[in-house]
Structure 1
Amino acid sequence: MLQELSIRNFAIIEELHLSLEKGLTVLTGETGAGKSIIIDAVHLLVGGRGSAEFVRHGEKKAEIEGLFQIESADHPCLEKAQQFGIDVEEETVIIRREISTNGKSVCRVNGKLVTIAILREIGSALIDIHGQHEHQELMDASRHLNLLDQFGGGEVLKAKESYLEVYKRYDQTAKTIRQLSENEQQVAHRLDLLQFQLSEIQRAELQLNEDNELTEEKRKLSNFEKLYEAVQSSRSALSGEGRGLDYLSLAMTQLETAAEVDESYKAIYETVSDSFYALEDAARHLSSGLDGLEFDPNRLNVIEARLTEINQLKRKYGSSIEEILEYSAKIEEEIDTLTNRETHIEKLTKELAAYEKDLLLEGRQLSDWRKKAAKKLTKAIHHELKQLYMDKTVFEIRFKETADQAGGGIKAFRKDGLDDVEFYISTNPGEPLKPLSKVASGGELSRIMLALKTIFSKHQGITSIIFDEVDTGVSGRVAQSIGEKIYEVAVHSQVLCISHLPQVAAMADTHLYISKHMENERTKTNVKPLEGEEKVREIGRMISGVEMTDLTKQHAKELLDLAASLKIS
């Protein structure tokens, strides 16, 4: 859900900070007070088209920031954030967008700079803004199939996953066949390139970890003089007349005598004795090592030449010897495939035919589950429309399979199955069913969309849903029904709603009043939460206009009492 929203220097808004709650938040106020401007700001925050015109006059940039709390471990936003390398800690997503007067837009998600496209991807999983004239997810026919799958859940998603597993193998096999079926000249060029690369790698006779061993040997040879001097000095300090071991030997002899007289010196004698023999052994190793130290300038040249050769191969074929050898094995296999491509094409074609049969089987099983879900969804939508006084409306989900059912042949396989799905609707008896995207009547469209939202808000996982004056063109009992439906959606998703209907405002869990005033000859927008009598007066104003009568006040209280009783039930 959207917990905090901060807006600065955006249109007529100088500075505004909103703390938003769960449930239904309704924004009301006079026309032009800035209600839709707040929604415009949220739209920009989640990837909407920006413009320098949004920057408040006289300011350098507009700033919008939102804090979202993710309450589900499998929320789609988390997957998208991971896909784009954005860290999400404590289930919190902070989005910030700045628009400057030169039109430049800067977007950040959890502090990371992102493009508008990435912001839009993440934003679409957080907020769904539906306005009277906007084409949103439910109006986009290409998304209807996914919505049906989400509604179907369980068996549908399981069948879809089984189909996708087969599709991936089918797609990879088809891609390999296409590559092998390229013209002779392309294949010959590819074969020549691979054979050259393989020959170059094989001539090098690389050994695992060879580069690390050579680098270490080079380091020793390059610092030979320093190493020789250090070992020589260490040996001299320990060995020889009047050096460290002589004095330690003398101390050991004297302590042995002392221990014979007084046993309390025995432990000290043993410590010194152990140290003497350990250092004597170390001195022998230093002498042996010193005898073995030998500087060979030719060996250093050989190492440097070999490392240069290995680094050249790394630039071409991998960042390590292991990766180069893996690449060598891979192209060796491809050379065999290209050399014997006719045999491989024949083999892969048989595999592809088998995958096609499996896909058709899995795809039709998926279609069967989808059709069962479509019946349930159709029934649920008719139920919702009836409650919105559209009981004459007919809703239908139409399927068009991409496979040729009659001949069993395949026109095309797609990763989402064999079906094309689109929602159709007829709002008047006797009228033909038309695609949902063609329905144009404002009041009817509002109710249709609300019915669909009531159902899909339980399945989409959207954090917040915003309704921007979707109640335009309705009144009376329909308005009351719309208020109840919007509240029902808010049970499953945080809902922000701009409304001019008192019936909707009465259902609000949080009622925000938007107003504007003049200050220093500039227009400013204010937001005030309403409670008690203030809420009654605002709903009264929405009922009758400016003048508040006792009857209007009574009507407003009745609406609030009715809303309270509906929430309890």
Structure 2
Amino acid sequence: MLSMLTVQNFAIIDNISIDFKPGLTILTGETGAGKSLIIDAIGLLLGDRASSTMVRSGYQKAIIEGVFSEYSDKISELLQSFGIDELPDRELSIRKEIALTGKTTTRINGILVTVNELNAIAEGLADIHTQDDTKKLFQSVHYLDFIETEESRQILRAYQKQLAVYQETLRKYQSLKKRATEDANQLEFMRYQANELAKANLSETEETDLEQELYILNNYENIFKNLASIKTLLEDHNITGSLFEISAVLKKLSKIDNRFQEHVGRIDDTYYEIEDFESFITSEISHLSFDEERLNQINERLSFLKDLKRRYRKTVPELIVFQTELTKRINEFDQMDDLLVDAENDVKAAYGKLAEVATSLTQKRKENANQLEQAIKETLKDLYLVHVQMKIGFKDVVFDDMFNSAVFHSYGTDNLEILISFNVGEPMRDITKVASGGEMSRIMLALKTHLLKNMNLATMIFDEIDQGVSGSVASAIAKKLKTISEDTQVLAITHLPIVASCADHHILISKKTVDGRTVTVLEELTMDRRIQEIAQMLSPDVQDDSVLALAKDMINFWH
């Protein structure tokens, strides 16, 4: 249950702190005093999206902190899995800071958590009913939320996995079929290209090698002239002969002074290096020749490669890769019929499994819907809708085309409608066309009462669940809230004195001006103040003894 709430710098709330207790807590106050802000603040702790516009003007951030107690073992397991230590006395603290810059941070028991982690934990703490929730009865997209249970969610998860398999097999089949059509139109041209590239006998390094060879041939005269010059220099200066004589002299000197011995080897090494170099130059000159035929061949080949690259708009290495791809596509096309049959069989198998799981999901949801119908009708009897007839209808889905993926959605194949009749002898019609505001409120309360049994929540919060009702119906709603609060903490905003009178705890929310600014003020009412507040709700003349007596009697009726 929610045991404490602190709110700072949030809209017109300056700084408030509330200690909540078990049972039924009623919040009353004039419109605009800040009642819904309290609900909004709790909603933010439970994962609602925050906005920087919520920060009170003149401040850098808003801070909201709540302490929950008596939470379930499932939440304990989640805390452990998220690496969050539990607090003493089995309390759980959620703190949210909303910065004026738009940045929002959330901590659970002092540990920073992600949005998904917060949502996972908050889901088991409390449920908030707002006036917008009642509007969901007018929006069929939300109907599945009303009938989903843990069992149906397990089937839904299996369905979603199989849906992904089906979508992937269908994508592969459609892609293969599209390529088959494209390749059939281009097959002759692809064969021509593959044949041309095969005849070209391409090599990744050929172009570079040819350009190097061409460069050498084009510089034949320059190369020959320089080689001959080197040979002349070597011969004219008799370098090897001089080195030989130097070596002989050093050998004589080394016999006198061994310091010269190390230089003998160096001169000898140089002699042999020069001798080898002379042989290399002589060999290069003897083998050097100008082959005009080879020059023409190279120019023709390079011209061919240039034209090929221009026409295909690819480099030689890219042409080699393209040739491989063409060959593969041609081979695949030759086997395309077999590939399409295999792909179609994959779609058929995946479709069959998906349709089977979808049918199981629908069947389970129909069972859930039937239970919900009966539970709501029983609860509505207590809320003065004795003759109500209700049916959650499922629109038929036919699985007759394995290539039609449009019938499959992430939530399943079910499209629901809620049909209802409030009067004897009247046919059931779409709820959005026949229900009044008061009837909608009662249906939503009945719905929440049923869902609460499955959700195992410690706290339920209602924002004007009694909107649009009065008299005996309002009394019935008060009784239902009182009944729920016997096992579950209930917080409720109301404008009805009969509902306010049944509270175990009554908080008055008002606003006043402090230092030229409007602030929200909370007051937990004593019995005398409760009588005055309910009298005020009954009549503007709160000093009328009969009104005060009536207010007191209304409170005593419930206690």
> Offset of 1:37 from its aligned partner?
2.8
Separation in structure 2 between the aligned mates of residue 420 and residue 488 of structure 1, nearest angstrom: 34
* 8 Å contact kept, 1:9–1:56: yes
> Offset of 1:165 from its aligned partner?
6.3
Matches within 5 A, 1:31-430: 31-46=31-46, 48=48, 53-69=53-69, 71-74=71-74, 87-90=83-86, 92=92, 94-100=94-100, 104-110=102-108, 127-133=126-132, 140-150=139-149, 156=152, 167=163, 169-178=165-174, 180-181=176-177, 183=179, 343=338, 345-404=340-399, 412-414=407-409, 416-427=411-422
Which of 446, 449, 454 is matched with 2:444 structurally? 449
Change (3 A) 1:48 1:376: closer
Change (3 A) 1:461 1:408: farther
2:323 corresponds to: none
> Offset of 1:96 from its aligned partner?
0.2
* 8 Å contact kept, 2:11–2:57: yes
Change (3 A) 1:27 1:19: same
Secondary structure of 2:415's counterpart equals strand
1:293 corresponds to: none
Does residue 468 of the first structure (1) align with residue 463 of the second (2)? yes
> Offset of 1:497 from its aligned partner?
1.0
1:24 corresponds to: 24
Structure with bigger gyration radius = 2
Change (3 A) 1:145 1:519: closer
* 8 Å contact kept, 1:97–1:106: yes
Separation in structure 2 between the aligned mates of residue 386 and residue 428 of structure 1, nearest angstrom: 13
Secondary structure of 1:183's counterpart equals helix
Gapped runs of 5+ residues in structure 1? 189-334, 565-569
Which of 493, 516, 523 is matched with 2:518 structurally? 523
Change (3 A) 1:492 1:41: same
Mean CA deviation greater in 523-532 or 382-391: 523-532
Secondary structure of 2:449's counterpart equals helix
> Offset of 1:411 from its aligned partner?
6.0
* 8 Å contact kept, 2:532–2:542: no
Does residue 538 of the first structure (1) align with residue 533 of the second (2)? yes
Identity %: 35
> Offset of 1:483 from its aligned partner?
0.8
The one-letter amino acid of 2:179's match is N
* 8 Å contact kept, 1:129–1:465: yes
Separation in structure 2 between the aligned mates of residue 532 and residue 386 of structure 1, nearest angstrom: 32
Separation in structure 2 between the aligned mates of residue 406 and residue 178 of structure 1, nearest angstrom: 14
Separation in structure 2 between the aligned mates of residue 2 and residue 166 of structure 1, nearest angstrom: 40
Secondary structure of 2:538's counterpart equals helix
Separation in structure 2 between the aligned mates of residue 445 and residue 22 of structure 1, nearest angstrom: 28
Separation in structure 1 between the aligned mates of residue 368 and residue 37 of structure 2, nearest angstrom: 39
1:274-312 deviations in Å (ceiling 9; x for gaps): xxxxxxxxxxxxxxxxxxxxxxxxxxxxxxxxxxxxxxx
Taking structure 1 as the reference length, the TM-score comes to: 0.59
Secondary structure of 2:442's counterpart equals helix
Gapped runs of 5+ residues in structure 2? 188-327
> Offset of 1:453 from its aligned partner?
1.3
Separation in structure 1 between the aligned mates of residue 459 and residue 366 of structure 2, nearest angstrom: 29
Separation in structure 1 between the aligned mates of residue 485 and residue 492 of structure 2, nearest angstrom: 10
> Offset of 1:373 from its aligned partner?
3.1
Which of 503, 508, 512 is matched with 2:507 structurally? 512
Mean CA deviation greater in 426-435 or 379-388: 426-435
Change (3 A) 1:133 1:408: closer
Change (3 A) 1:349 1:46: same
Mean CA deviation greater in 505-514 or 64-73: 64-73
> Offset of 1:60 from its aligned partner?
3.5
Secondary structure of 1:14's counterpart equals strand
1:487 corresponds to: 482
Change (3 A) 1:346 1:464: farther
* 8 Å contact kept, 2:71–2:125: no
Secondary structure of 2:395's counterpart equals strand
> Offset of 1:123 from its aligned partner?
5.8
Separation in structure 2 between the aligned mates of residue 487 and residue 404 of structure 1, nearest angstrom: 48
Separation in structure 2 between the aligned mates of residue 38 and residue 517 of structure 1, nearest angstrom: 16
Separation in structure 2 between the aligned mates of residue 532 and residue 516 of structure 1, nearest angstrom: 21
Does residue 558 of the first structure (1) align with residue 557 of the second (2)? no
The one-letter amino acid of 2:28's match is T
* 8 Å contact kept, 1:395–1:423: yes
RMSD over aligned Cα atoms: 4.3
Separation in structure 1 between the aligned mates of residue 170 and residue 401 of structure 2, nearest angstrom: 24
The one-letter amino acid of 1:89's match is D
* 8 Å contact kept, 1:70–1:93: no
* 8 Å contact kept, 1:50–1:99: no
* 8 Å contact kept, 1:544–1:552: yes
> Offset of 1:178 from its aligned partner?
4.8
Secondary structure of 2:71's counterpart equals coil
1:376-418 deviations in Å (ceiling 9; x for gaps): 3212212222221123443220101332489999863345444
Number of corresponding residues: 407
* 8 Å contact kept, 2:387–2:422: yes
Separation in structure 2 between the aligned mates of residue 13 and residue 141 of structure 1, nearest angstrom: 36
Secondary structure of 2:148's counterpart equals helix
1:14 corresponds to: 14
* 8 Å contact kept, 1:126–1:462: yes
* 8 Å contact kept, 1:439–1:445: no
